[in-house]
Amino acid sequence: MRITLSASILILMVFSQSYGIPRYSVEYNQSCALCHVDPSGGGARSLYGAQFFAYTDLAMQEKPFEEIETVKPMLNDQIQIGLDGRTIFFGQDQPAVNSFMQMQGDLYLIFNLSPTWTFYLDKGLYSGFEAWGMGHVLPFTGYVKFGQFTPPYGLRLADHNSFTREKLGFGIGWRETGVEVGFHPEMFNLAIAVTNGTSSLIDTDEGKAVTGRFDFRFPIGDANFWIGATGRRNQVGSDVDVIAGGFGGISLGIIDIMGEVDYRDFVNTELISFAEVALKLRKGLTIRVEHDFYDPNLDQESGAENMYLIGLEIVPTGYLQLSPDFRFHDLQPGSEDDYIEGSLQCHVFF
């Protein structure tokens, strides 16, 4: 049964969560840890991401250095703040619906306890939260993280409706409690987490999940390449939910291509994929074309879904992004339930 856009937005209200833009990793040939406190990306931005990257590389008009100095995320020598707020106006043709909705309102607090240890708190307007401590105490820029966080699986896309997040259950308030160990030296990232395997605060069946991701970045000539592998094994009662996938991208100057493919073996054998082509028309203005595919059962010839998107990313200044998008949902060949939706999202961040 198809979930309408309005229902999807209501779910997002309850489980607001912060993801990032993985495309920047291949575009700039840099780790997500450069601009985010969490080495896996998403959520609160580092001082570099909040003060410099947003105002110099993302925005249409680069802010003069003397004005950048006025952007001060640090409340004092130890406490940093940040925020994400997303307001959306959306509509679809069937059933006919349109409305405004506050999708996200997250406040971040980062406590720098020492040069190596950090405590992170992300509290949304609704019920979702992250709370974890992290210590960069391992070699090769390695860290240990413990608490409630988003496990390191695949591309941490900002779009919760992307099939590689939604269909796998990773896009709506997905946070688990456990421990993560990772390494992120200059050219590669490796992270492995052992968690309770559920977003519930208490794991009643005591089954555990192991989630991991590895990616490697390298330039060839004027092109940047990004290749990664990811997997997850979750004990669910007497059953085992196994997911494996690959992701990556290539940046060719003003054109970035990125994608992910996942295979899941649980109740059925499922195949999920995401692909994006982004063209930077000018600084602060990017057009995106995306395709999502989902086959809920590879043993059957019918039932596959497709979703197509065309949209813009407009960043007029270093704290504001506007994103008009249009999607076409092709639920299955010949289906009368296919529908079109459009949205305009206003994203304020710091």
* Mean pLDDT, contiguous 10-residue spans, the chain (350 residues): 40 46 87 90 91 91 86 94 95 89 92 97 87 96 96 88 89 86 92 90 80 96 96 91 96 95 94 97 96 93 90 95 94 74 95
CA 212 – CA 208 distance, rounded (Å) = 13
The span from the CA of 117 to the CA of 81, in Å, is: 17
Residues 315-336 have pLDDT tens digits of: 999 999 999 999 998 877 666 6
Span 71-122, pLDDT tens digits:
999 999 999 999 999 999 999 988 889 999 998 899 999 999 999 999 999 9
Closest to 18 (Cα-Cα) out of 98, 115, 120, 90: 120
Which positions ≥6 away from 163 have C-beta within 8 Å? 272, 273, 274, 292, 293, 294, 305, 307
Residues in a beta bridge with 109: 81, 121
Distance CA 116, CA 135 (A): 5
Give yes or no for a contact between 16 and 10, defined as CB atoms under 8 angstroms apart. Answer: no
Question: What are phi and psi for residue 51, nearest 5 degrees?
Answer: -90, -40
Residue 303 has what pLDDT?
82
Residues with Cβ < 8 Å from 324, sequence gap 6 or more?
A: 311, 312, 314, 342, 343, 344, 345
Q: Is the peptide bond before 73 cis (omega within 30 degrees of 0)?
A: no
Instruction: Give the pLDDT score at 333.
Output: 63
Q: Which residue has the tokens 């390494």?
A: 183
* Cα angle for residues 224, 22, 150 (degrees, 5° grid): 140
Q: What is the pLDDT of residue 347?
A: 96
Q: Are 111 and 85 in contact (CB under 8 A)?
A: no
CA–CA separation, 4 and 75 (whole Å): 42
Tell me the whole-structure pTM to 2 decimals: 0.88
pLDDT at 3: 40
Nearest of 181, 207, 185, 186 to residue 196 by alpha carbon? 207
Read off the DSSP letter of residue 32. Answer: G
Report CA dihedral (115, 38, 311, 330) to the nearest 10 degrees. Answer: 180
pLDDT at position 334, please? 63
In whole angstroms, give the CA distance from residue 190 to residue 39: 10
Q: In sequence order, what are the beta bridge partners of 226?
A: 217, 249
Domains of the chain (ranges, CATH numbers):
5-349 (2.40.160.10)
Residue 211 to residue 35: CA distance in whole angstroms: 23
Which one-letter DSSP state was computed for residue 47? H
The pLDDT value given to residue 18: 52
Count Cβ neighbours within 10 Å for each residue of 127-145 and write b for 16 or more, e otherwise: ebebebebebeeeeebbeb
